Structure 1
Amino acid sequence: MEKLPKIGLPILILLVLTIVFISKSTETIGSGEAGVLYKTFGGGVVTDAPPLGEGFHIVAPWNKVIVYEVRQQEVFEKMQVLSSNGLEIKLDASAWFQPDYEKLGLLHQQKGENYVARVLLPTIRSAARSVVGRYTPEQLYSSKRDAIQKEIFEETKKIVGDQYIQLNEVLVRDVTLPPTIKEAIERKLKQEQEALEYEFRLEKAKKEAERQKIDAEGKAVANQILSASLTDKILTEKGIEATLQLAKSPNAKVVVVGSGKNGMPIILGNQ
């Protein structure tokens, strides 16, 4: 094996050092990520400049880049909280969040990479206990889930907003009551539904009775008006008209004029 020229060895060493220097001085930030720059000889975490965005970056080898995911993320949490009357309620919730991009340096400096466990989850638990404690199990089971979801979101956001965390939504996925309480609430709701149905039937029957009463009163008034208008003279005229109509029929008959009651004709011999 031939020996390398004396001039070639320093060049080879320099080339190797250059490659190592370049490999240690580059950082590639992936999609949906951002980097926080830590300057070893320049004051530590950089908080007065935007974080490093996606793509390729040249960084001094004695500095360090801490990469954070900055797209929206979801965290799940199962909690046991107490209702307003002291009963234990199991709450299954999740939160949509992401770090505050412009303040990523402050988040790393003050909270660290484990900010979800240190800040976000404890705040959600505290807000859930506070909110659920205002409601009864019946309210939580039937009609107040949307309300407690909104209130937990508002209370959590109010705290983590100052902690460089952007909270987008809190979702209450399930509320689990003790079995005996759940059964009692279901029985009560069923009884209330049956009572409403019974009241509806009563109201319907009452309206039908009122309708029939109004109809009967209307007919009675009409009959009174008709009776008042039927004088003896009108009745006699109507009787004569009816007799004349009968007389025109082809059946054989005998008409005795003036022999009936009140002088009305009598028709005899119809076949």
Structure 2
Amino acid sequence: MEKLPKIALPFIVGAIVLVIILSKSLVTIGPGEGGVLFEPLGDGINTERTYGEGFHIVAPWNDMIVQKVRQQSISDNMNVLSVNGLDITVSGTIWFEPEYKNLGKLIQTKGEDYIRELLSPAINAAAKSVVGRYTPEQLYSSKRDIIELEILEQVRIELEGQYVNVKRVLVENVKLPNTIKDAIERKLKQEQESLEYEFRLVTAKKEAEKVIIEAQGKADANRILSASLTDKILQDKGIEATVKLSESSNSKVIVIGSGDSGMPIILGNQ
């Protein structure tokens, strides 16, 4: 193989150096990400600018630190104590996002692994503070929504001025010792049965009251009707009915004598 001309060697070296420079200078920031520039020959992290998605050209001696800036979530199991000192495991998820314009300050003060260094300790501290106010029964059943809101508020207090926004906290599971859990479930079952029994009693009472009211209404109506029906009115009504029957084309009417009340007796029908 023939040796390359000496004049070609500088060009080859230059091409290699150019490729290295371009690979260091061209930076791609993906969707949902942001970048901050680390300038080793300057003041370190540039906190004045956050670079957005797309291609960027930077000096080859600088480094672009890329972080997710969209909403993210982390889940964790936390061992906490209830108000009566019982050891409880709480499983939760938290949604958060770093402040886009302050991404440089976040990395400068808390580092690239700010989730482990900042967020996780704040969540654990908030969970211990909030859960420590409640009994196991409250944690297991009725207070779940309130606890989530209180943890969220406490986390925001812990992270105030730390360049991270917490959006939501979800308490997914509260794990109690089996003996405590079984006792709570028995108590809840008894309370539910008691509520159902009270509901049946109230329903039966209302039905009885309804029957009494309806019977009283009918009795009052009959009494009023009886008081209003005089002998004269009854006689007139009987005469009207007799006339209608006699006018019917489908009936043959024979009137013989009269009844005890003075009304005619009607025989025959076809």
Check whether TM > 0.5: yes
Q: Is the alpha carbon distance of 1:28 and 1:215 closer, same or farther for their aligned partners in structure 2, counting shifts above 3 Å?
A: closer
CA distance in 1, matches of 2:15, 2:228: 129
Q: Which protein is bigger by CA-based radius of gyration?
A: 1
2:161 is paired with a residue whose SS is: helix
2:159 is paired with a residue whose SS is: helix
| Segment drifting more, 155-164 vs 34-43 | 155-164
CA distance in 1, matches of 2:53, 2:141: 47
CA distance in 2, matches of 1:164, 1:32: 17
Partner of residue 37, structure 1: 37
Maintained 8 Å contact 1:161/1:167 = no
Give the root-mean-square deviation of aligned CA atoms: 3.1
Structure-to-structure mapping, 1:136-151, within 5 angstroms: 136-151=135-150
TM-score, normalising length: structure 2: 0.77
Tell me whether 1:203 sits opposite 2:202 in the alignment: yes
| Segment drifting more, 122-131 vs 30-39 | 30-39
| Segment drifting more, 207-216 vs 65-74 | 207-216
CA distance in 2, matches of 1:106, 1:180: 49
Structure 2 unaligned blocks of 5 or more = 239-257
CA distance in 1, matches of 2:70, 2:231: 99
CA distance in 2, matches of 1:100, 1:138: 38
- One-letter code aligned to 1:15: A
Partner of residue 7, structure 2: 7
Tell me whether 1:53 sits opposite 2:52 in the alignment: yes
Cα shift at 1:127: 0.9
- One-letter code aligned to 1:42: G
CA distance in 1, matches of 2:211, 2:65: 84
CA distance in 2, matches of 1:212, 1:30: 74
2:52 is paired with a residue whose SS is: coil
Cα shift at 1:219: 5.5
Partner of residue 23, structure 2: 23
Structure 1 unaligned blocks of 5 or more = 251-271
CA distance in 1, matches of 2:215, 2:37: 92
Partner of residue 124, structure 1: 123
Structure-to-structure mapping, 1:1-271, within 5 angstroms: 1-48=1-48, 50-218=49-217, 241-242=260-261, 244-246=263-265, 249=267
Cα shift at 1:208: 3.4
* 1:219-264 Cα shifts (integer Å, max 9, x gaps): 55566667777899999xx995546545x548xxxxxxxxxxxxxx
Partner of residue 266, structure 1: none
Cα shift at 1:209: 3.4
